[in-house]
Amino acid sequence: MKLPHFLLPLALLSQTLCAQDKPAAAPAPEFKPLVEKIDLKDGDTLVFLGDSITHQCLYTQYVETYFYTRYPKLRIRFHNSGVGGDRAQDAITRFDEDVAAYKPKYVTILLGMNDGSYRDFDKGVFDTYQAGMTTVLDKIAALGATAIPMTPTMFDTRAKRLKGDNQEPRNTYYNGVLALYGTWLREQAEVRGLGFVDMWSPLNNLTLTQRKKDPNFTMIADGVHPGAVGQAVMAAAIIDNIVPRSVVSQATLQIKDGKRVGTAANGSIADVVESGDALSFTWTANALPWVLPPDALPGAKLTSLGHRYANEKLTVRHLKPGTYEVKIDGMVIGQYDDGRLGFGVEIGENDKTPQYQQALKVATLNKQRNDLAYRPLRDQYGQLKGKRRELSKVPATDPAYAAKKTEFEQWSAGQKAKVAELLAQAKEFEDQIYQANQPKPHKIEVARVP
C-alpha cells in the first residue's frame, strides 16, 4: 500500500531508529598461525620446563643429541628445568632463576601429570591448572621467548593394575583427564599462536598397537614415568612436531656422459675412482645419524627413528648385475645386490659404520653430561623446593621465623654454588661433545663379490 505523502517522513524516521537499534555485526576474529617449526641459531637456548618426567633427563637428552649430531656447526645451548612433583605453580615459583636467567629463545613445557591430582575430573583442580599454566605462558611471552606447550604424557592404568595398584576412580579416569588437560592446552597454543607437541597420542597409540601382540606391554612401568623406550617415543614426537626435517647426507654415484660422477645432499663427494667392478670415493657428510643409547633403541625401532629421522643413504647406480661388498674406511659394513644399491641403502642405523660409532660417542658423552651434571643439578632444585615449603610453613610473626629464614638463606647460598659447579661440569661435557661431533671424510669402497 502506498503511504500518503505526509506520512513518509515518519516511516523513514522509524526505519532509521530500527537500524540504530540493531547491533553491528562483530568483526571476524583473526587467528594467529601456530609456530610450525622452531628455528634455533648459533648461540640460542632451548629450555625444557617440566616435572619429574623432565627431571629424568631422558627425552631432553635424546633431543639434545639430535641437535648435536644434526647441526654440529651450531653451538646451541640446552637447559633442563624439570623438578620432580612439580605443578604449574611450582614452575612459576622458580621461573626467574631456572628459566628466565637462561634467556631462552624457546621453552618447551611438560606439566599436568601432577596438576590433575591423580583423580577423576575435578573442576576446581582443573581451574587451578588453567590459572597456573596461563601464568606460565604469560611469563614466557614476557621474556620475548616462544612457548612450546606439550600435552601431559600417558597414565598407564594397566601398568598400575599389573602391580596390584587398583585405586579407583583414578585408574578408570586419569588417563582421560590428562587427555582433557592436553586438549585445553592445544587450544591455548592455537589462540596464542605457539608451537605445540602432542605427547599423549604417540604413547597411547603405540602402547595399544603393542598390546595386540603382548597384553602386558608397557613403556611406563610405574604408570607415570616413561622409561628410556617411552622417552625415545617422546623425543621423536618433539622432532616430528616442531623441528625442521633435514637429512644427514645422501651420497649418489652414477654414470653421466659416460663418466662415473658423485653428488651428495648435505655433504660432498671427492676422489671418485672406478676400476673394473670396483669403485671408491671420499664422502664427507655435514651431519651424523641420530643415535640413542642402547637402552633407548627399542623406542627408536617403535618410531622407525632411523628411517624417518636419520636420512643417511648410499646410492650407487649403473652397476653390473651381482652382489657388492661395501667398506667404509676399510671396514665391511655389508653386502648388497646391484638393485638394492641402485635404489639406495639406508645406513643410518648400521652400527658397523664409523659414522654410527662417532654418533654413539656423542650420545654417550651427552648421557654422561646428563647423568653426572644435569640430573644432580635438577636434584638441587628439588631440594630447593622442599626448603622453600618448609620456610613457608613458619608464619612471619613466629619468633623462630628470623632464624629459619637465615638458615634457609645460608643453605640457598650453598645450593647456588653447587648449581654453578654442576653447570660448569655440564659445559665441560658440552665442549667434549662439540669436539666429538665434527664431520669427518670417509673413504667408501664398493666392489663386486666374485
For the chain, the helix, strand and coil percentages under 3-state DSSP, each to the nearest 5: 50, 20, 35
Report the run of H or E that residue 324 belongs to, with start and end. strand 323-328
Q: Domains plus CATH for the chain?
A: 31-246 (3.40.50.1110), 249-286+311-450 (no CATH)
28 Cβ contact partners less than 8 Å away, ≥ 6 residues apart: none
Q: Tell how strand 441-448 and strand 278-285 pair up.
A: antiparallel
pTM of the full structure:
0.92
Question: How far is the C-alpha of 238 from the C-alpha of 197, rounded, in Å?
Answer: 6
**Residues of the chain with confidence (pLDDT) below 70:** 1-25
- What is the structure's pLDDT at 27? 77
242, 309, 353, 403 from 238: Cα distances, Å:
6, 12, 27, 46
The C-alpha cell 648435505 sits at 266
Mean pLDDT of the chain: 94
pLDDT digits (tens, 9 = 90+) for 58-100: 999 999 999 999 999 999 999 999 999 999 999 999 999 999 9
325: nearest Cα among 282, 279, 368, 360: 279
Q: How many CB atoms lie within 10 A of CB 183?
A: 11
**pLDDT score for 6:** 46
- Judged by phi (left if over 0) then psi (alpha if -120 to 50, else beta), residue 144 lies in left
For residue 247, CA distances in Å to 4, 132, 306 come to: 82, 39, 11
Strands (E), 166-318: 249-256, 259-265, 267-275, 278-285, 312-316
Confidence (pLDDT) at 203: 98
DSSP single-letter state for residue 33: P
Residue from 381, 396, 406 nearest 90 by CA: 381
- What b/e sequence results for 289-316 when a residue is b if at least 16 CB atoms lie within 10 Å of its CB, and e otherwise? bbbbbeebbbbbebbebbeebbbbbbbb
Assess whether the previous peptide bond of 169 is cis (omega < 30° from 0): yes
Ramachandran bin of 258, using left for φ above 0, alpha for ψ from -120 to 50, beta for the remaining angles: left
Which cell numbers in the block locate residue 80? 633442563
For residue 7, the model assigns a pLDDT of 47
